[in-house]
């Protein structure tokens, strides 16, 4: 991340890392790592999903949430990231078959896929943010590694050319709020038009330039990024940000925000605006202690 500036996402991450949670997390991670070191094959209850490692490169993403400047709704700033951390991400979205193991282990609640979307090779859909968190916990225990949802920034980093930008590029106008409503509606309509709404077998959407499959197709992906509102000062710096973690962002054909327990964004749509077609997810694999140390080592001697 860019040094010196406090971005909304950095704030959201630090906001989550309460000291108590940090301590519990560290202890838990230590436990997993000890297990993994004793049993390097890690052939527990689940096979390790295929992942792809995305090397650091400069990129930019549109800041998340709604932004207010001088009382008017404006686009969030474009945040440039010069040297992101490397990211290990599932190549494919979690499948119906994979998710079923977690349900069978009584660690996940059954998904509620749309009609006809329950074949094992399809990405699992009809899952809430809560479901995805449960799955990540279970997968961690079952594979001896730590898994979590990506942040919006990480998703954009991994999605590369498949990531969109929901900026409307309008001049802030407190006199006519409808300008943004109409422009946003037109943008969502354009993003939705003509594309399949039914989940497709994994791999159908092809790989992007970083080797990540099925991005921005009929299945939106939950992220770890909370809803929230950011108020900007006239110079564009952040005055304040209010997190609202009862809802999280989804990434896909367009960015969407959804209450944590929702599994289906409803067929008729919101009263205005177009909902995501299907809710699914994929996970980031956290580097273990070994990986982290190796990363430091590479950082020290890799001359990057």
Partner 1 sequence: MDRQDDFNVSRRALLAGAAFAGVLGTVLATVPTAGQEEAMETGPAPDLASLPHEKVTLVAPPFVHPHQQVSAGGPRVVEFVMTIEEKELVIDEYGTTVHAMTFNGSVPGPLMVVHQDDYVELTLINPDSNMLQHNIDFHSSTGALGGGALTLINPGEQVKLRWRATRPGVFVYHCAPGGPMIPWHVVSGMNGAIMVLPRDGLKDGRGNPLRYDKVYYVGEQDFYVPRDEEGNFKTYESAGDGYDDMVKVMRTLTPSHVVFNGAVGALTGENAMTSKVGETVLIVHSQANRDTRPHLIGGHGDHVWQGGKFNNAPDVDLETWFIAGGSAGAALYTFLQPGIYAYVNHNLIEAVELGATAHFMVEGEWNDDLMVQVQAPTPIGG
Instruction: Give the residue, chosen from 26, 242, 293, 298, that forms a contact with partner 1 under the rule CB under 8 A.
Output: 242
Instruction: Find all residues with CB under 8 Å of 86, minimum gap 6, and list them.
Output: 53, 54, 55, 56, 295
Closest distance to partner 1 from the beta carbon of 68 (Å):
5
Residues 178-217, one symbol each (x = binds partner 1 by CB under 8 A, - = not), give xx-xx--xx-xxx-xx---xx-------------------
DSSP 79-128: EEESSPPPEEEESSPPBHHHHHHHHHTTSSPPP-PPTT---TTSBP-S--
- Report the residue number, 73 or 102, with the smaller CB distance to partner 1: 73
Q: Are 255 and 152 in contact (CB under 8 A)?
A: yes
- Report the residue number, 150 or 218, with the smaller CB distance to partner 1: 218
Stretch that binds partner 1, among 41-49, 77-85, 148-156, 265-273 (CB under 8 A): 265-273
Stretch that binds partner 1, among 135-143, 177-185, 252-260, 282-290 (CB under 8 A): 177-185
Q: At what angle do helices 289-301 and 19-38 cross, to 10 degrees?
A: 90
Burial of 8 (0-12, 13-18, 19+ CB in 10 A): buried
Instruction: Find all residues with CB under 8 Å of 220, minimum gap 6, and list them.
Output: 250, 251, 252, 253, 256, 276, 277, 278, 279, 280
Closest distance to partner 1 from the beta carbon of 227 (Å):
12
Our finding on whether 267 is near partner 1 (CB under 8 A) is: yes
Our finding on whether 15 is near partner 1 (CB under 8 A) is: no
Our finding on whether 274 is near partner 1 (CB under 8 A) is: yes
Which residues 103-142 are close enough to bind partner 1 by CB under 8 A?
114-116, 118
Instruction: Give the residue, chosen from 3, 41, 106, 266, that forms a contact with partner 1 under the rule CB under 8 A.
Output: 266
Closest distance to partner 1 from the beta carbon of 127 (Å):
16
Instruction: List helix spans (H) across the chain.
Output: 8-16, 19-38, 96-104, 129-143, 152-159, 178-192, 289-301
Strands 278-280 and 146-148, sheet pairing: unpaired
Instruction: Give the residue, chosen from 268, 300, 301, 303, that forms a contact with partner 1 under the rule CB under 8 A.
Output: 268
Interface residues toward partner 1, by CB under 8 A:
68, 71-72, 114-116, 118, 175-179, 181-182, 185-186, 188-190, 192-193, 197-198, 229, 231, 240, 242, 266-274, 277
């Amino acid at each position: 991340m860019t040094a010196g500036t406090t971005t909304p996402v950095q704030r959201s991450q630090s906001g989550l890392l309460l000291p108590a949670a940090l301590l519990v997390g560290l202890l838990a991670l230590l436990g997993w790592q000890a297990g993994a070191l004793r049993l390097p094959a890690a052939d527990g209850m689940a096979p390790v999903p295929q992942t792809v490692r995305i090397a650091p490169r400069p990129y930019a993403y549109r800041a998340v949430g709604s932004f207010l400047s001088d009382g008017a709704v404006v686009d969030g700033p474009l945040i440039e990231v010069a040297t992101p951390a490397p990211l290990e991400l599932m190549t494919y979205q979690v499948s119906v078959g994979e998710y079923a193991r977690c349900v069978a282990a009584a660690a996940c609640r059954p998904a509620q896929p749309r009609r006809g979307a329950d074949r094992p090779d399809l990405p699992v859909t009809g899952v809430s943010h809560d479901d995805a968190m449960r799955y990540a916990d279970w997968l961690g225990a079952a594979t001896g590694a730590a898994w979590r949802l990506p942040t919006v920034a990480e998703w954009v980093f991994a999605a590369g050319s498949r990531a969109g930008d929901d900026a409307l590029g309008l001049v802030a106008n407190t006199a006519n709020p409808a300008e943004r409503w109409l422009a946003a509606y037109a943008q969502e309509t354009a993003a939705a038009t003509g594309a399949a709404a039914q989940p497709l077998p994994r791999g159908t959407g092809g790989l992007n330039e970083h080797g990540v499959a099925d991005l921005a197709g009929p299945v939106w992906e939950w992220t770890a990024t909370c809803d929230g509102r950011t108020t900007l000062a006239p110079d564009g710096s952040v005055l304040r940000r209010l997190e609202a973690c009862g809802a999280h962002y989804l990434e896909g054909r367009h960015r969407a925000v959804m209450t944590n327990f929702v599994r289906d964004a409803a067929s008729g749509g919101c009263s205005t605006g177009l909902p995501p077609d299907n809710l699914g997810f994929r996970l980031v694999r956290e580097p273990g202690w070994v990986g982290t140390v190796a990363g430091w080592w590479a950082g020290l001697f890799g001359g990057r």
